[in-house]
Amino acid sequence: MSKKTGWSLVATAATIVLGVGAKKGKLPFLSSKVVSDIAKVASDPVINEEKSFGGLKESVINGIATSTNKGVKSFIDGNELVYEFKSNSNKMILESRFIIDAGKLVMTFVSGSYGNQPNAPRFFRDNLVEEMNKANENL
């Protein structure tokens, strides 16, 4: 049984138990509509499946982002990876965007650079490439 199937069965069982209790009035704080909404969210594979980029899960990439100097967060936006970081003055949140092109991580955009490239996106890129290489070695 796959992990996704296992969670679907757990969600279905929990929904049935909660639904029966709600209909019998034993769980007055839960209506049957709330129970059906919970079931829909719990069984939706799009919501439950974490995105990945370059072989790394989004949560792992976000961990790299927050542990990088000036890093705030990262997230996957379509086929791009967005890295948010603080400016040198710590007054603004800037962003850089990355794609994978021909197997290489390429920075496509950096906001607020004003002619000189901030170091934070380069440090993030280097840390990310290192983790991607480790992940690919383990395959």
Per-residue pLDDT reduced to its tens digit, 76-112: 999 999 999 998 888 899 999 999 999 899 999 988 7
**Residue 2 scores a pLDDT above 60:** no
Residues linked to residue 100 through DSSP beta bridges, in sequence order: 105
**Residue 4 scores a pLDDT above 60:** no
Res 9: pLDDT: 47
The C-alpha R_g of the chain, in whole angstroms, comes to 21
Considering the domain architecture, whether residues 28 and 76 belong to the same structural domain is answered as: no
Considering the domain architecture, whether residues 34 and 63 belong to the same structural domain is answered as: no
**Residue 30 scores a pLDDT above 70:** no
Q: Pick the residue with more confidence: 52 or 38?
A: 52
Backbone angles phi, psi at 3, to 5 degrees: -60, -40
Distance CA 7, CA 5 (A): 5
- Look at the chain and report how many structural domains it folds into: 2
Considering the domain architecture, whether residues 86 and 32 belong to the same structural domain is answered as: no
Considering the domain architecture, whether residues 25 and 69 belong to the same structural domain is answered as: no
Distance of CA 136 to the CA centre of its chain: 19
Q: Pick the residue with more confidence: 114 or 120?
A: 120
Note down the domain range covering 27.
Answer: 3-48
The average confidence (pLDDT) of the chain is 77
Considering the domain architecture, whether residues 56 and 89 belong to the same structural domain is answered as: yes
Q: What share of the chain is helix, strand, coil (3-state, %, to 5)?
A: 45, 25, 30
Considering the domain architecture, whether residues 30 and 57 belong to the same structural domain is answered as: no
Res 89: pLDDT: 86
Region 20-46: mean pLDDT is 54
